[in-house]
Structures are given as structure tokens and as C-alpha cells.
A and B are shown apart, each in its own frame.
Chain A
């Protein structure tokens, strides 16, 4: 046994990139007296974003730590979902992540904003099939049967410790988490901080009180600073994808977060001494995908990755698409249809496939056309603002014109090729009203690189343009020909 432990410690040391020795020793005002020193070990991850390829490695680390610390708790601070087509396009969307988290014996997960991405019915299915609980105190489902999201959970360990976990999720300025509003039908949300404070009473029922949040690191600090002293022991956070590899204690509360996509996990250890005082340490462990793995989990991941659905036709192109412009027309039409705006715009660099043959189109084809993971951003822009955008974009994109849907454009260049003017027309060839407001969709890359005058700052619909296109193609089935279409005219 000793030999095994020695060997394991050697392996574990290679995983540890930094140790945060918080070394806080204090007496709590609330803790019950425990006659002997007891330990709590937690392996925490956050924002995994369906990066299933790291699971065999995470499983190996969890298995190894369980050999050392049999009471180890494995928890996620939310955003388990979204970010990998193998998971996101699975027939039961999101199930690969749930099955893998079940197989690794996760104890608990916070609800992250991306947990809502699969849409309410699919979310209910995922919650039903998870062997672990999802918690969030400021998410209030109307239907608590199908959405059994509890505000907190008490975990009783075999060593006699009772651990209280409470969770809150970030709410944006519209009063909802960052997800498509349609995905949030049937839920209401309350203020994270005031809600978090309502559950401090749990300290009377547990030895250690932990906030497992999906609130962002800076917000976690604000949360910690406003708590009464010596009530909350830890905040295990997510959402901001912050890599915490230095000591972060605020108001005696240790705050952790392990960046994202399972590059890292945090091993948290607490010792609760007989007098109620406690020490806390956190170690950021490298997960990655190199090193020893759990073979059974690796087989599960291989099976998910060998997903024929990604190569199954979702629509049929009735004609060849022989250049980027034609493919761009299809992509921007899909964006406009799915966002239900009057106009959609696509930057010329946003089309990454130059040829799409007549015949079946698969999910994989869509990700080849649009591999960036950009989301759709919605605006209300005047004709003047649109004109300003198109002018700026033409120069920024080295004289490549924006690909429009729902409108036509005519660029006038001088003898040197410099842009003189852009004219905007409706699809029927009528000049657009420059003082009118138009609903406009574009991708998040365009929304961040084109600097132009506009009142509306815009808002994401929290759906990637690729996912929107997949849904659009499934709906239309037959893709019409875009051969010889002309929406942009450049006149020298």
C-alpha cells in the first residue's frame, strides 16, 4: 500500500502545476464541535463545454484521487454543455456529456447558462437522466417535476462531515442568464447576491458551506466580500473561464476556478480541526489529453466520436455551389431566416468552404463552411448606420464586400479603386430608406471588428451561426440553386 501511495504521489506531483497554500487557520462562529480532525477533498471543474475528449484523462485523475481520498467529491460549476458538435448534434442533444459525467460519478453540478442551450424539453430529458443533482438558487422553474433544480444540496460524508452546496447563476441586464430567450421559457430568475444571502442559514446545518457558482470570478469576489465573516468557506466558480493559479482569498473565503474545457481541474482540500478551526488548500491540476487515461471512459468517448449522425445528410443541394460567394449567400440566408430579421450580413472571410457539390449536405459540411463558433448578434440599425457599417467593412476587409441577405448593395469606386459611395437597395431594387430602422443580424466577429456609428449596442441570441444553419437546412430539406445570383455590384 505504502509503495503504491509513493508511486501515486510521484504521478500526482507531475500533474500539479501550482499549489495554493492558503494556510488559513481560524475559528468559525457557526461550526459544530467535531471531536477529531476531518478532511474534505473536492475535485472541481467548470465550463467543460462538452469537451468530451478530455474525459478519459479526467477520469484517470478522479480515480487516482479517490484511491487517496475515498470521500472525494467531484463537482462542476456549470456550462457542461455546448461547444462540441459530437455532443451538441447528438440525437438526444447533450446526452454524451451526461452519460460521461454519470460514468465519472459526478456528485453535483451548478446550472450554467449553457445548460439551457438544448431547449426546455431536451433539458428536462438531461436532468432526468443525470445521476447527480443540478443546483441553482436563483433559477425558479414553474415546472419543478420536469426541472428538479434545487437551490442547494447537503452532502453527508462517511467521515461525519456535512457539506452544504448552494449555487447561483449570473443574470444579464435583461434579467436572464446568457441563453436564447426561447430556451428560458418556463423559468424565472432572481438576483444572485440577494438570493445567495438567503441560504446562509444552511451553515447551522452543515460543517462546511460552499457556494458552487456560475457567476464569473469578479462577481464571486463581490459575493465573498459581502458575506458575513466566517460563514462561507469556499466559492467554486465558473463562467468567466478564469485560471486561478495563485492564492485567492477574499473575506477569508477561498475562491477557485479552473479556466475552461477541462484544461485544468482544481483539487480543494480542507481540514476541520477538533476546535472547529480549518485549513484550506487548492491545487490546479493539469487535465489536458496527454498522460494516463481511464480506458473504459476512453472507449465511451471513442463511441461518441464515431457518430454517424455527423455524416448523415441533413439537406440536399439541388445544384453545385462553385465559389465562396454562392456558399456565403446560403449561409447568410440561413442566418436571416433563423434570426427572423429583415437583413443579415456576412463578412467575406466568414465563408471557409469554396465548393459544395450538388447532393447531400451533412452537419460536417456546415462546420467546414463555418468553423468559428461565432454567435448571431441582433441589432436595430438605421439605413444610415447600415451604410456606415458597409463602408467601414469594405475598407477593413481589403475591399471585399459584405455578403447581404434581404438587401442588395452597389459600391462605387474611383479610378484608384478607393471607395466613393455605397448604395443600398431592397431585394426588389428600390433604394432603402436611410432614416428607417431595420432589424439586422450578423456574426459576433463582425460585431466586434467593424467600428461604425450605431446607437444599438446589439445583443447575442446565444446561438452559434453554425447551429442556426443546421436547423435551417433541416427545415428546408432541398437547397435551391444560387448559381449566377448577384446581390453585390462593384462599379469602377
Chain B
């Protein structure tokens, strides 16, 4: 690993905005905060993956992966980060290095690749991602990018986050460092207003930013830049002129917020667009900080009035489902902000949270969960649940639905239990007031789909294929199914 990357990682770990880090001794802090991975029992993406997730939503940039085919060929076009303008971010660019590049180095190929991209696609900037193999053979992407920037007169930005540097989370931060080092503060906006904010760590998955933007628009608040969802290179470059930074998604890009505060004195706060109460708090915080930094104070009243209208409307729409969803038990397997921010909405829908995973959550996240769930919250916080345990929990009907990311969906589906995707591969946006209503709607749609009755009908024969009660069983099962549905019973509750 190059000296610069090592220094960068140490710098990222030296996070003033992280209480845990600040509580550590000097020696502990040097070790960094990445958990050592367990070979043969690890999951999750690498640092390169994390850097790409964090930066790829900048939509008018060409994202070039310098490495063998695995890094881009196995992974491109796999997220639903939406763009309202350029589509070039969805194009997969890679140097696809071969054996000779490994032996002689891939810098020439990288330089030529940048030239080809500029000649054919002419983007405002190119981001070059380092990977394990090219880092190991010693390709100096910083030097190549510097040379290319001079030669082509366009910003060519090195993103030095090879996969073996650590997990996805570290990659998010290393990607953010690239923006801090090379992008933010390199351009001036055409004009500024007292209502300019940056949103940091929002990736506009399935267009979630657009569920929130109308609220800001209505208040006259301008998103100077969103880092990085629906982003434009030139907007990100002017981010240093914002009055307030909002940091979304827990700590994934906290280094941008803290360093922008240090460099340009921009105050930041952490907020979430998930959950009704959190959405309102976020709007209040933005308004408060903007007024503190010089915006007219009528913004506060306008914000309160908007919140009142929006909340009333959202709760009314959710109440519609309350009767149907009351008492339904939800198993929530996700991480970070989502482990608590959707809990309130689910509880408002009358649902009971039988478990929420806290594996990826910070201490503050856990405190929040306790605050929301009250007594006995500890019992429902799951630190590390194996798929086998989740499966057993669902199969034994100790939960009615599981909300999780795509990889664990089969745990629920194979247990013939409803499942809803709430991570990055999902197709439904759950941001803001609109999004929470949509989430409750989707849960309702999942739980009450009659397919669950269908797939739980036992085959009218045994494992050996010999018929058991062949004449009676299917008819009986169907009739009890119909009766149970009419009585609102779960199949497990049907007397045998």
C-alpha cells in the first residue's frame, strides 16, 4: 500500500465527529476502527465498492475502474441511484487489465483509457478508481490523473480505495476524501442565496431525494449540491459556498461534513429522511441553522406550518392501514439509521417490532432505538443473527414479515414468509412523508397477499410420494384456509 493511502486511512480514522474515536486512547486510535474480518465467515463489500457507491451517483461524470474485469464487469449497473440529467454514470468504464499489464504495469493503459473516454464521451470530469491488483503492482494513479488533467484540461480525479484497504464503510470515507482533496471548493457558484444547503450522503436511490426536494423547494431552500445523489460535477465543486450541511445516512461520509466545517466554517447536523418525525426534525434543523447563518427568520414559521400540514396528511394516510396492520410482528434486519428511523413509522402503523438488527449501528443509533421502543428494547436488539436463526424465527411464525436487504430475502421466502426490500436494490422509494406512507402500503401489500395462504398448503402426500389422506386433505386445507381468512386468522392459528 502506498504511503499516501496509509496516511489517508489514518486520517479518516482520526475522526473528530465520532465520539467513539474521541473516547479512545492515542494507541487504540492508531489501530483504526475497522474490525478484522473473519476468513470464511465474512460478508459485505470492499473499500472499492464503498467508494464507488458513494461517488457513482454523481451522474455527469465518467467513472473509470482501473483493474481486472472482476471489479467492474461483475458489478456495473447494479444500483438504482436515479439521475434527472446525464446518464453517463450508468456506463461501465474499465481498463480490464490483462496479464501483461500486471507484469509491466497498467499506467499506460489507464492514460489511454482516459483519453478515449474524453474523446468519445466528453464528460466534465473523469473519476479513476484504484483496485487491489493495480495497487499491488504499484500503478500510481495519482500521477497518471495529474498528467491527464494537465494534458486534457479537465479534472481527472483519482479515487484511491483499493478493495483490500478495508470494508465498504471505509471505502465510503475514502471516496469522500477524493472529493475533499480534488473537487469541493474548486469552482464558484453563479450566485448564492441565504438558503443554500448541501445534502451529504444521500444517494437518491430510486429517486428518494425527489420525495424530499419539493418540501425544500416550497420553503425556498436551495440544494446547492447533493453529495452525491443526482449530482453534477460542477455543483459538487461549488459545495463550499453552502450555508448549512446536512449529513444523511449515519456516518458514511461524516468526513466531508467535519472537514467542510473546519475549512469553510459550514455548520452541519445529522438528519434522516426516513420516518415522519425524523423528516420533520430534519426540516426544523435545516431552517434553524439557516436562520442562524443569516436567513430571514420567517423561515421557521413557514417550516412549522408545512410540517403541520404534511404530518397530518401522512398520519391520516397511514391510519388507514392501522386496523389491518395492528399487532403484525416485524423483523427488521438492516443497519445504521434505518434500524431506528423506520421503527416509529411501523409503530404508528400499529405494528410490533420483534427484532431490529444493530450490527451496523452506532452507539447513537442504539440509544435512539431505546428511546423509541421504550422498555425492553434491549431484548429486541439483535447484534448478529445467523440466517439459520432468522429462518427459524420466521418459520416458527414468531414474526409476520421481514424487512431486510436483498441478500437475506431468501431466508424469509424459503420460510414462506412475507419479505420487503428496504436496502439499496429496492424498487420503491421510502423517503420523506410520501415514502413512509409508501412503506406502510408496501408492508400491507406484502402481508395480505393471498399467495401466503397458497404456498403454505401442504402437499397432500408424504415425502416419499405415497398418498396420505389423498382424498380429503386438499379440500380440507382449502376450506380451512377460506374460513381462516374470513376470521382473520393466521394459518398457524387454524385448529388442526
Decide if A and B are genuine partners: no
